[in-house]
Amino acid sequence: MTRNFLPAGKQEMADRGWDYVDIILVTGDAYIDHPSFGVALIGRWLEHHGYRVAVLAQPRYDSVDSFKIFGPPRLFWGITAGNLDSIVANYTGNARVREDDSYSAHGNPYFGGKRVKVERRRPDRAVIRYANLARRAYKDVPIVLGGLEASLRRFVHYDYKQDNLRGSILTDAKADILVYGMGERAVLDIARQLKAKKAVNNIPGCCVRLSPKEREDGSYHDCLLLDSWKEINIDKSRFLKTELALDRHSRSLSTRYVLQEQQGAWIVQNPPQPPLTTVELDRLYSLPYVRAVHPAAADVPAWNMICHSITIVRGCSGNCSFCAISRHQGPVVVSRSRKSIVNEAKTISRMADFKGTITDLGGPTANLYGTSCAKKSCQRHDCLYPQACPGLKVNEAKFIQLLKDVAAIKGVKNVYISSGLRMELLLKTPGLLKVLLDRHVPGMLKIAPEHTEENVLRLMHKQKPDVLPRFLAAARKLAARLRKKIIFNPYFISAHPGCTMSDMQTLAENLQKLKLPARQFQDFTPTPGTLATAMYVSGLDRDTLEPLFTARGVTERRRQRKALENRRGKK
């Protein structure tokens, strides 16, 4: 049955009695109607506001035919690569082709099957490819870019597959407008403006491309002027300085315009949209999602992982160097209400395949739930470095009550926290830590120390080195009191900018001293939109702007990873 999904084919459109659609959302993922997937969130949000929305999932891109099945959308194309950047989805951190895809049917990244290996379901730089095909299909229909790939590639950025700096994806895709960050407000504003036949150039939360004359005619006197494409390519140190400026601008929630000159034009970033409020976030998650994979796909690994999980928080104030969540979701943490989360858990408990376990109450960082800032005029929004800010208000009781309320739902046997947890916050909330260890850890407790060496942790913008041993001691002591066997699942990164082979060997030695296995680790991947990537490209320290050792090439990166591989499974 497909009638409850947003139309994903011509027949489904006809079944609704539609002879046109307002908006076509194009995605590089299989269509899964669940609020963990961006296309479902945006599609249901637009539908809720009265628009006819169709989904074109993983279209063939060897011809324009797939882009004509619904006819021309009356308002615009909304184009995304999916939940991941397409280069990250298609290649490992060392630019080797991935042979699986968690967002495709059966984990198969190819249209013709893993053995046939014709075209991949998601093309490289999917946003550009899809936008070009949409333009060829109906040249006069506006094209709106959004999602993670577009958001993090909106200015000059590094592409690790090409090992090169690229200009804005807005220019390469020849699109009309780009939505950055979490796009619900901006996309709805675009739909309303286009329906009223009004211009969309000045919508908050968006980027547009202007000619030199248009830039001179605009009111951009009080703006953040970034180094140009030409200047950055001549001097790579400017890339780090540009990313630092963007980081400060983003975290301060500045309403100044941001401008960057490139390829004979200007990219203009309008002021940001305000984050959704708790009430708005609750409304978004209460929309009528089918909570299933569309029948055109089947056995999608990402769905199997999250089908019985619940997002409880949006945004992250951690601001780790290697992570783009703060840049994309924003540095302000917004929590859903307890009532909204409990209602979603009740919905899950009624699903036919539910066997009693809520697999996760989480988000970017689960134990940021319920946090708030006492400093109303704070410009940093960098709440956990170098230690937890005194202005960060942690509501331990609120999270504990949420866990109790969800666990009390009829049919729910287990409620687990599978998302990452910040250790320095758990040390400040021993009551929550006790409750988690006693009832809400699915066999393993996920933590993300990333490293143990002070200088590497500084470059990562992570906790002090003493946090990990203090946390392990506290957690083990609590577990002993509770007579619980606790298994830690720590996550580490090798070859991060500034990390030497000596640092990795010391890390491996420290794990042995801490009786901690190396279960999960990976090479640093220089993805767009992070300060760690800017350090990788420039070869400079983010804090001092001095030269920095950076592991480059497969051989050096493999040597660092090997130090942890030799520790895998050992206690």
* Amino acid 116: pLDDT: 62
- Residues of the chain predicted below pLDDT 70: 1-2, 113-117, 568-571
For 487: left if phi > 0, alpha if psi spans -120 to 50, otherwise beta; the answer is beta
Per-domain residue ranges of the chain: 10-269, 443-571
Cα–Cα dist 230/238, whole Å: 10
DSSP 156: S
Tokens of 544: 């001092």
CB–CB of 333/313 below 8 Å? yes
Tokens of 128: 């550009």
Cα–Cα dist 425/387, whole Å: 10
* Amino acid 569: pLDDT: 54
Nearest to 497 by CA among 552, 563, 449, 543: 552
Tokens of 155: 């200015």
Centre a 10 Å sphere on the Cβ of residue 168 and count the other Cβ atoms it contains. Answer: 26
* Amino acid 296: pLDDT: 94
Size of the chain in residues: 571
Radius of gyration of the chain (CA): 23
- Give the global pTM: 0.96
Long-range contacts of 340-346 (CB under 8 A, 24+ apart): 340/281, 340/282, 340/285, 340/286, 341/310, 341/312, 341/402, 341/406, 342/402, 342/405, 342/406, 342/409, 343/286, 344/285, 344/286, 344/310, 345/310, 345/406, 345/409, 345/412, 345/415, 346/409
361 phi and psi, to 5 degrees? -110, 100
* Amino acid 216: pLDDT: 86
Q: State which fold the 443-571 domain adopts.
A: Transcription Regulator spoIIAA (3.30.750)
* Amino acid 565: pLDDT: 87
CB–CB of 82/27 below 8 Å? yes
* Amino acid 566: pLDDT: 83
CB–CB of 57/30 below 8 Å? yes
* Amino acid 431: pLDDT: 97
Looking at 22-76, list the stretches that DSSP marks H as alpha helix, in order from N- to C-terminal side.
38-48
Centre a 10 Å sphere on the Cβ of residue 429 and count the other Cβ atoms it contains. Answer: 18
In the three-class reduction of DSSP (H, G, I as helix; E, B as strand; rest coil), residue 184 is classed as helix
Cα–Cα dist 558/555, whole Å: 5
* Amino acid 519: pLDDT: 80
DSSP 484-540: ---EEEEEEEES-TT--HHHHHHHHHHHHHTT----EEEE----TT-HHHHHHHHTB
* Amino acid 376: pLDDT: 78
Cα–Cα dist 467/317, whole Å: 18
* Amino acid 420: pLDDT: 87
Indicate the burial class of 69 (C-beta count within 10 angstroms; 0-12, 13-18, 19 or more): middle
